[in-house]
Structure 1
Amino acid sequence: MKYAIITGASKGLGEAIAKRLIQEQIAVVSVSRTENMEIKSLASEQGMEYKHFSCNLSLEKEVQEVFMEIAHCIFQKDPKEILLFNNAGVIEPIQTVGNLDQTPVIRNIQVNLIAPMLITNLFFNKAQLTNTKVTVINVSSGAAVRSIEGWSVYCSSKAGLNMFTQTAAIEQAEMQTNNKIIAFSPGVMDTNMQETIRSSSKEAFKDLEHFKEFKEKNMLLAADVVANALVDLVLSDSVENGKVYNIKELLK
């Protein structure tokens, strides 16, 4: 059986990915601070294995403890493949450099970059002792390759995630494992993160009005549309190791 681990599964893209994977008869492990009961009900209706773990991804000790438990639970079942979606992310702080507060800066790097690095490292390590293939999908952003005023921390953490993905892919290929790791830029979606962006100040975020227009003109992608395109790619067996995929190329 295939297992999927999804961080930030309680809402937005993570929720949509979880629901689609359950429909595909893939066992789901949800990781977020709060549980989404719709996902739990859907898994029950479909007769699919499902488990939720609460975890604050900004606390590295908690990340290590929770994901060690998850790894133990899954690997002992000798699964065919594990799909690891490092989806959870935070946009804050939205502020210019010189006016940043230390705490949200550290939290952003912990959630967006350090947690995915630690989790990926753990699962690649465990996979060395088994026949299980691990496919890692790191949810990145267009901000990883484009400087956006007010988003210095977010841009930096996502750029770091892309580089980590590409480097880890080279290493796995060199070691001739079956594992793959990719990054995925989901575009501008209609999620809570966009609400946070629209509630920021013009002083902190120069492009505020532009992002408000996305909503007003119905230009935001629905989370389920993005999730379906990503899951289609991951299940197609045509994933190119180390590639940073963009939603635009998947929706052509």
Structure 2
Amino acid sequence: MKYAIITGASRGLGASAAQHMLAEGIHVISVSRKENSSLKQAAEKAGAGYTHHSCDLSSDVQFQSVLTAIASDIFKNAETVYVINNAGVIEPIEVAGELDASLVQTNVQVNLTAPILISNLFLQKAKETGTRVIITNVTSGAAERPIQGWSIYCSTKAAVNMFTMTAGLELESNGSSSKVIAFSPGIMDTDMQVTIRSSSEESFADVNTFRNYKESGSLRSPDTVAGALVKLVLAENLENGKIYKVNDLL
């Protein structure tokens, strides 16, 4: 059986990716604080399996317990396991010297620590069982350039990119059939964009640029981006450690 574990699947890109995976007949396991009821309906329509696990990824103990339970269950009969580390937070949006310590810790936990530990767990299970695992870490263009007010978001996404490239290199060196890639989705019309647009100019110098993205209709729909993402991860010619950008796929 094929499984797709998707974090942050309650809305935005994660929810849309789950919809596309279900349409492919893949059993989707949603991991998020809240459940998206439309996914259960989509699963019934597609005749595909669907399971939701409520989990706060900012809680180290909670997410490790939930993901360990998921891994122990699915690797009993899994043929291929897709993991999409999609959950992410943009806050704190603030200049250095004004950062909220608790928001910094949450950002690092959700954006960086969780994807690394989830990847580590599933690669370990893949090695033990001989199962093929395809891991996709959702990254950002912010990983490649400094953006005023986004020091923590830029830093965690840059670290995700380096982890992806290094893990991919290691898998290639070991002759593994598993893959680890990153996917940069560009700018989408999501709740994260709402948070960005609500920032002050003092905290985020480019806020008017992002407000203009919305006003000019420049934001892609999560469904369009998710379609490109799912088509990518289901392809047979993935390059280990590569950072794929949506603009090159559409």
Tell me the matched-pair count: 250
Q: Matched residues in 1 for 2:124 and 2:63: separation? A: 16
* Corresponding residue of 2:182: 183
The 5 Å alignment of 1:136-155 reads 136-155=135-154
Residue identity in the other structure for 1:92: E
1:31 aligns with 2:38: no
**SS of 2:115's equivalent?**
helix
Partner SS, residue 9 of structure 1? coil
How far has the Cα of 1:131 moved from its partner?
2.2
Contact 1:89 1:112 in 2 (8 A): yes
CA distance in 1, matches of 2:208, 2:46: 43
Per-residue deviation, 1:5: 0.3
1:56-135 correspondence to structure 2 within 5 Å:
56-77=56-77, 79-135=78-134
Q: Which segment is superposed worse, 236-245 or 138-147?
A: 236-245
Cα deviations by residue, 1:105-134 (Å, 9 ceiling, x for unpaired): 000000000000010000011111112100
The 2-side partners of 1:172 and 1:133 are apart by 12
Q: TM-score, normalised by structure 2?
A: 0.99
DSSP 3-state at the match of 2:53: strand
Match of 1:7 in 2: 7
Q: What's the offset of the Cα at 1:197? A: 0.1
Provide the alpha-carbon RMSD of the alignment: 0.7
Give the match for residue 45 of structure 1.
45
Alpha-carbon shift at residue 83 of structure 1 (Å)? 0.4
Distance in 1 between residues matched to 2:107 and 2:149, nearest whole Å: 14
Letter in 1 for 2:74: I
CA distance in 2, matches of 1:41, 1:198: 32
Structure 1: which 5+ runs fail to align? none
| In 2: Cα distance, 1:175 partner to 1:55 partner | 33
How far apart are 1:45 and its partner, in Å?
2.1
What is aligned with 1:245? 244
Q: Which amino acid is 1:5 matched to?
A: I
Q: CA deviation at 1:70?
A: 0.4
Task: List alignment gaps of at least 5 residues for structure 2.
Answer: none
